[in-house]
Structure 1
Amino acid sequence: MSVSARHFRIGLTTKYTRLAVGSRGLPNAVRPLALNRQPVPIRRYSSIPPENETTSAQEKQISSDTFSESAKKTSTTPAAETSATDERKSPSAEPVNKTSSTEANGNTLGDGDGTACINGKENLTATTNEASTTDSETADRKTNAEFDSIPKNAARRFVSVRLGPLGSNVTRYGEFGPFFLRENCQCPLCLHPETKQRSVDTFSIHPAVNAKDIIYGPNVVEVLFSDEHKGLYPYSWLNSHVNLTTERKTFSAPFKFREFSSYNPDQDSYPEVEYSKVMSDDAALLAWLDEIYKWGFCFVKGVPVDPESTKALLERIAFIRHTHYGGFWDFTSDLTFKDTAYTTEFLGAHTDNTYFTDPARLQLFHLLSHTDGHGGASLLVDGFKAASIMRQENPKHCGVLAATKQPYHSSGNEDVCIQPAEQAPVFKIHPELSRLYQVRWNNYDRAAKRNWGLKEQNRWYNAARHFNNIIQRPGVEIWTQLQPGTALIFDNWRMLHGRSEFTGKRRMCGGYINNDDFISRYRLLKYGREKVIDNLGNLAYFKGNPNLLL
């Protein structure tokens, strides 16, 4: 049975009852692979057009020889001189109608010339047309075969694209996977111009899609794909997404810290900003966030002594996070919530929200009043500084606190029993940057760990005792007495906080801000929207990479 051709526009979700196949065995209209399929011929494309082929109007001024010369510059083998996809063999003129079982196991769609369809076992291979079985299990296997239809030799078939306009000083080329390049097309059909979200249905793209032609404009590269879609890629996007290696190597990077500065308790003044400036000027707001990120905390002077003004100060950064304590707090030590923080007792250095899967990033306190009593000094301890001291004194203890996960909970109120989705270590290390970026320490909220051996217990308790000793040293403790009109904000992923015992009645207000909201605001103010978007997903270590703000 022959299959009629249909017009196809990639990115549309229209489904057809038949799969119409064009050149290279690629669909002109996409739908899930059917169970019974006629064999179709496959032929390869070169990414560089032959010299006798007519060029498009856009590239008339660029001869095919120029394209060939561009390809030669990045070629390491003679076989790569005529193709940006680094294909090793020339296509056969005649399709293969049958393949032996040995060949069938080795050839997937696009691996060789031939006629390809679902064979009902493992992958796309050349075969004769056979009636499909009605057995449900066999049908499932045939349907699942499409998941493995990306060519096995994909690692050898990158698309080589010049990273600067022709005639410019940029002569370097980058390698991109053809499917990756196709699904990340930057044209308005594939990427929504307002939301910046992907509009193309990734899984409607044929798994063996490839590049047929490349046109270099002054600002944008146009790639014509084998499904006839014209992909658009600004040079800035190509440079920030160039494939640096074909295979990620696993290695144990040295233990490092994200960028930070430690405050010396002997200094005469704290990091501080003025309320009026922060509320009226984005440059002052950025300076405030810089102080918080650099030092881990900052004081805000001149805050009107009322909850409304304090709430507005928090919302100058981002939305206030709601928890089981509510949104914006306005509280006294009345044990409304069954938590040690709502008492008058001494509070040792700790981080908040250890029992949340995602602890709040920023926390702000503003003392509105303290009557008929004294005490209640605020304590801050830099967790990064304490970890740095521990690494110098006993690196193995650092490793234990980074590797051993502990359970936490909040269960004081009858209607609340909160635990994180997974247990968490005291030191959280970024898995790709190998940098400490979060400290989770709260001896009040730590639950009893189950099913751990005696040696593991001893290692952890020894390391935890060491850390506890460090955070109580005078050289790392920062003590201050809060006053009405001065708000304190700090990084809850870095700074431990506490309080001395007090008498009398205190009224405090404040709130939390999420990590993602804080970092988003900070990155955009510091680097600008364009640079942040251009570096989405980029974890390369270079100065000015917005994603290094952890």
Structure 2
Amino acid sequence: MLTSQVLRVTARATSSLLLPSTQYAGKTIPRTVKMIARSFQRSTPAFLQQPTQRDGFFEAASCKHITHFEVGPRSVKVEFFDGEPSEYPYVWLRENCQCSSCFNASAIARAFLLEELDLTITPKDVQLLDGNIHVEWHDGHVGVYKGDWLHHRSFKPAIRAAKRSHYMLSKELWSAKFGIPEISFVAAFHDDQVILDWLVALERYGVVLIKGAPLRPKTINQFIDRLGFVKPTHYGLDYELKTEVSPNNLAYTGCKLGLHTDLPYYDYAPGTTWLHCIRQHEGKGGDNDLSDGFFAASVLQKEHPAFFDFLSTKQIYFQDQGVAMYRFNKLTKWPTIVLDNEGQMQRINVSSQSRDSIMDLDVDEVFTFYEAIKTYNDILYENSIRVKLQPGDILVLDNMRVLHGRQPFDSSTSVGCRHFHNAYIDWDELRSRRRVLQDRFGIKFS
């Protein structure tokens, strides 16, 4: 295991943060992005400002006039001024008519109803006027489709890929030699462009370290308020981690915590977890172990495909009971490795602390489960990093992907108790904030 090295982006200094290729105004910037903390003066938060582009897909970036079209039995083929062709089904064109009767522009919402849609619809007439397609339907309704608008909704693979990246950035997997991206609390709190760089790094790598935060509880709540809102749990909006005599969670003890994701007993587990170090244990221990669950799962899939298939299909119970804000009894059932409908990794559920002893498995499957989960756990640790947070550090983790643990410590050997503050925010809010800032600054990420 290697101790984590840190990549720095600090206030009033230019540093390098490794990010994927980025396009600014159509120009590709090298993989190493230079980031400068700009003005630290407070201004109206970007999420309160009107976006410059409502669609969020950079429609104003080009002028894709149509120069030619060809009417087919079920679709119209168009050719843009640069010679690029594209095809649009009539049924799609009718449902997506942008006239005021079919689309509410202020609400950015379709008013046309499915019950009104004829699946076999064909046009009465199609014309090309001023680079745009005008379609008259047999019921007399006329739709005007601008070239730019059509181009950004093309069914061509490259355009669809661009929309996918706007929805969710691609992941950069990492292992034991990974260096955690780092930013200044002051720079990020007051500069929206630094916030955007930070959000991109978090979405790509699943972990970012914020340095220089004030040493008081609720600091992360204030930071999260810049991004969206805190996700509440049965612990409340947030909670403090201090060693307790009769804890309701192992986090309140000094024992070792194995690599885990937070709150897998929630169907809607927190998207990201925030750990703010206010006072660290001064002696040996208290370090955090971190591991990329997606990377470890990819190794498992390659080297032990049967174990991967088992952990991605067999569901396991996770539970937690106790009293916090109220008496709770949480119970869910999840695969260890959750895949989406395309077979891509979507969520990791690992927690020895809260994995239930009741298992909905046959006896033979129990043996396979332990072989598979132990193998996965070994791979996680073989590819983990270790970092000991210092007072003022905030560690932000993708709770769907990056597992964290803690080395044991003896609180009796330290002056003052170890004091951390913890809160959560979901990915829906963070990705929304990233898109708003992308639209505001006119930036595309591949």
Q: Please say whether Structure 1 and Structure 2 have the same fold, judged by a TM-score greater than 0.5.
A: yes
2:101 — aligned with what?
A: 189
2:234 — aligned with what?
A: 324
Distance 1:529 1:410 in 2: 44
**What TM-score, normalized by structure 2, do the two folds share?**
0.72
C-alpha displacement of 1:515 = 1.8
Question: 3-state DSSP class of the match of 1:181?
Answer: helix
- After TM superposition, the structure 1 = structure 2 runs for residues 51-90 of structure 1, keeping only pairs within 5 Å, are 70-71=69-70, 84-86=71-73
CA contact (8 A) 1:347 1:501 kept: yes
State yes or no: 1:470 paired with 2:382.
no
Deviations 1:342-376 (CA, angstroms, capped at 9, x unpaired): 33322110001211112212111112124787632
1:176 — aligned with what?
A: 89
2:351 — aligned with what?
A: 442
State yes or no: 1:275 paired with 2:185.
yes
C-alpha displacement of 1:435 = 2.1
Q: Give the structure with the larger strand fraction.
A: 2
Distance 2:284 2:174 in 1: 29
Amino acid in the other structure paired with 1:407 = Y
Question: 3-state DSSP class of the match of 1:215?
Answer: strand
- After TM superposition, the structure 1 = structure 2 runs for residues 100-499 of structure 1, keeping only pairs within 5 Å, are 158-164=74-80, 168-170=81-83, 172-178=85-91, 180-206=92-118, 208-218=120-130, 220-242=132-154, 258-265=170-177, 270-334=180-244, 338-370=248-280, 375-413=285-323, 415-420=327-332, 423-432=333-342, 434-448=343-357, 450-473=359-382, 476-499=383-406
C-alpha displacement of 1:457 = 3.2
C-alpha displacement of 1:453 = 2.9
Distance 2:358 2:88 in 1: 48
C-alpha displacement of 1:443 = 1.9
State yes or no: 1:518 paired with 2:427.
no
The alpha-carbon distance between structure 1 residues 215 and 448, as it changes in their structure 2 partners (threshold 3 A), is: farther
The alpha-carbon distance between structure 1 residues 337 and 295, as it changes in their structure 2 partners (threshold 3 A), is: same
**What TM-score, normalized by structure 1, do the two folds share?**
0.59
The alpha-carbon distance between structure 1 residues 372 and 451, as it changes in their structure 2 partners (threshold 3 A), is: closer
Question: 3-state DSSP class of the match of 1:375?
Answer: coil
CA contact (8 A) 1:351 1:442 kept: yes
Amino acid in the other structure paired with 1:459 = T
Percent sequence identity over aligned pairs: 25
Question: 3-state DSSP class of the match of 1:384?
Answer: helix
C-alpha displacement of 1:415 = 1.9
Distance 1:207 1:493 in 2: 39
Question: 3-state DSSP class of the match of 1:364?
Answer: strand
C-alpha displacement of 1:450 = 4.8
Amino acid in the other structure paired with 1:431 = N
2:12 — aligned with what?
A: none
Distance 1:291 1:243 in 2: 29
2:17 — aligned with what?
A: none
Question: 3-state DSSP class of the match of 2:231?
Answer: coil
Question: 3-state DSSP class of the match of 1:303?
Answer: coil
C-alpha displacement of 1:226 = 2.2
Question: 3-state DSSP class of the match of 1:437?
Answer: strand
Rg (Cα) greater in structure: 1
C-alpha displacement of 1:489 = 0.9
The alpha-carbon distance between structure 1 residues 70 and 260, as it changes in their structure 2 partners (threshold 3 A), is: closer
In structure 2, the gaps of 5 or more residues are 1-66, 158-168
Question: 3-state DSSP class of the match of 2:87?
Answer: strand
Distance 1:508 1:169 in 2: 57
CA contact (8 A) 1:212 1:226 kept: yes
Amino acid in the other structure paired with 1:295 = Y
Amino acid in the other structure paired with 1:406 = I
Amino acid in the other structure paired with 1:477 = S
In structure 1, the gaps of 5 or more residues are 1-66, 72-83, 87-157, 246-256, 533-542, 545-550
1:540 — aligned with what?
A: none
